[in-house]
Amino acid sequence: MLCAPLGSVVSNHLSCQVGIMLGGLLASTGLILGSFATSLKHLYLTLGVLTGLGFALCYSPAIAMVGKYFSRRKALAYGIAMSGSGIGTFILAPVVQLLIEQFSWRGALLILGGFVLNLCVCGALMRPITLQEDQTTPEQNHIGRTQKPDFQRVSPCSTLTKKWVQTCLCCSLQQEYSFLLMSDFVVLAISVLFMAYGCSPLFVYLVPYALSVGVSHQQAAFLMSILGVIDIIGNITFGWLTDRRCLKNYRYVCYLFAVGLDGLCYLCLPMLQSLPLLVPFSCTFGYFDGAYVTLIPVVTAEIVGTTSLSSALGVVYFLHAVPYLVSPPIAGWLVDTTGSYTVAFLLCGFSMIFSSVLLGFARLVKKMKKTQLRFLAKEPDPKLQLWTNGSAAYSVARELDHRDEQSVALTVPGPSPT
């Protein structure tokens, strides 16, 4: 996720096909090289850095392509596409364990490297598409044609390099990342930080918490399985629901609702200390976790548009990375300090609720400003109204006088005999 913006840059300047195929090649290379590792440092570089970089080049472009191809049922398309992550985790977890038992971990990494190489095939199937809003206007084309000869006439190497660097910086900042100056996107970015901080620790500490309240190891693992399966169901069904006509215009509100409910689940978790109570929690949290994950690209597209979606998603997923990295250690420190999971879970819950409230408050303020501007635009000025009414009355009088003159001319064609 830290390298997600790099995937957006590659896909924007080359294509989504090239970005995904290059990412698949890097990810497969990392897994294959990891099978020959002789120390943990080698695995950090291969399985961690190289494979992670390859997945980063694949993820953002693949999600952005969904937004370009689908508009009518966009949320459902995102839900189906993003459910692949949960389905893959659910299926591959026992398969990988079987591969390790049969071929050792080195053989398992080799087989996974060949399996991940299929990302190159997936990337080749990402047929490029050009939307109407992606096309440049004639004025922009004219500006580009007039500037190009001036750039080509530069002969000194240093000046040419300087202009090339300036051109690249201007293109990157003004065209690809101009949305960073949008107030709506800034609010979304801040809320993503709090939301990502809250959602990450549960996947690390749900099993230890269940064990601490007397649940067996098998039942605790069953809770994580329930969470994963319901997460997949939430991806697809919530995307389908928000594509309905009654909810299509309220996807933003549905996103806030899902994030807020996950925060409330966190607040209730310290009171749930038995398996019959933890099972409904896993179902509820898993469903709404899959729900808001599906709507993240939809909400981002509503703010920045489809043209900048790939770059915006790169930034959004980059913002996920820092809380994902920091929040589990902080939660673990709180558990060690207090001797209980209560403070850690409450902090995560309030963080997600604050994320939802922040976005809701920003949207409310924006609507109030729009309403105020409409009210001011509709409110008539008394002086303007008087001047308009006077002009209208004067025009009507002139028209009536003109009609009277025409009627007299028609009825009396010549001079009067008297």
Extract the tokens encoding 59: 């993820």
Cα 232 to Cα 52, 90, 257, 316, 361: the distances in Å are: 23, 10, 18, 21, 30
Q: What is the pLDDT of residue 177?
A: 66
Q: What is the pLDDT of residue 401?
A: 55
* Full-model pTM: 0.67
How far apart are the C-alpha atoms of 159 and 152, rounded to whole Å? 11
- Does the residue 414 lie in any domain? no
Question: Per-residue pLDDT for the chain (418 aa), expressed as one digit of tens each?
Answer: 777 777 777 776 777 778 888 888 999 999 999 888 888 888 889 888 899 888 888 887 887 788 778 777 777 888 888 777 777 777 777 788 788 888 888 888 899 999 988 888 888 888 776 655 555 443 444 434 334 444 344 444 455 555 555 565 555 556 666 777 778 888 888 888 899 888 888 888 888 888 888 888 878 878 888 888 888 888 888 878 877 777 777 888 888 888 989 899 899 988 888 888 888 998 898 888 888 888 888 888 888 877 777 778 878 888 888 888 888 899 989 988 888 888 999 999 999 999 989 988 888 888 888 777 777 776 555 544 544 454 545 454 555 555 555 544 444 444 444 4
Cα 181 to Cα 84, 133, 178: the distances in Å are: 33, 20, 6
Q: What is the pLDDT of residue 150?
A: 41
- Does the residue 407 lie in any domain? no
Q: Which domain holds residue 204?
A: 3-128+179-371
Domain with residue 40: its CATH number is 1.20.1250.20
As a whole number of Å, the end-to-end CA separation of the chain is 102
- Does the residue 56 lie in any domain? yes
- Does the residue 165 lie in any domain? no
The answer to whether 260 touches 358, Cβ cutoff 8 Å, is: no
- Does the residue 329 lie in any domain? yes
Number of domains in the chain: 1
Cα 166 to Cα 159, 163, 170, 236, 262: the distances in Å are: 11, 5, 6, 44, 45
- Does the residue 386 lie in any domain? no
Q: What is the pLDDT of residue 138?
A: 39
Q: What is the pLDDT of residue 350?
A: 93
| pLDDT tens figures, 180-219 | 777 888 888 888 889 988 888 888 888 888 888 888 887 8
The answer to whether 51 touches 26, Cβ cutoff 8 Å, is: yes
Burial of 20 (0-12, 13-18, 19+ CB in 10 A): buried
- Does the residue 399 lie in any domain? no
Q: What angle do CA 206, 75, 364 make, to 5 degrees?
A: 85
How far apart are the C-alpha atoms of 254 and 303, rounded to whole Å? 15
The answer to whether 24 touches 331, Cβ cutoff 8 Å, is: no
- Does the residue 14 lie in any domain? yes
Q: What is the pLDDT of residue 152?
A: 41
Extract the tokens encoding 116: 């991940």
Q: What is the pLDDT of residue 264?
A: 92
How far apart are the C-alpha atoms of 224 and 179, rounded to whole Å? 37
Cα 173 to Cα 28, 61, 149, 183: the distances in Å are: 32, 19, 23, 16
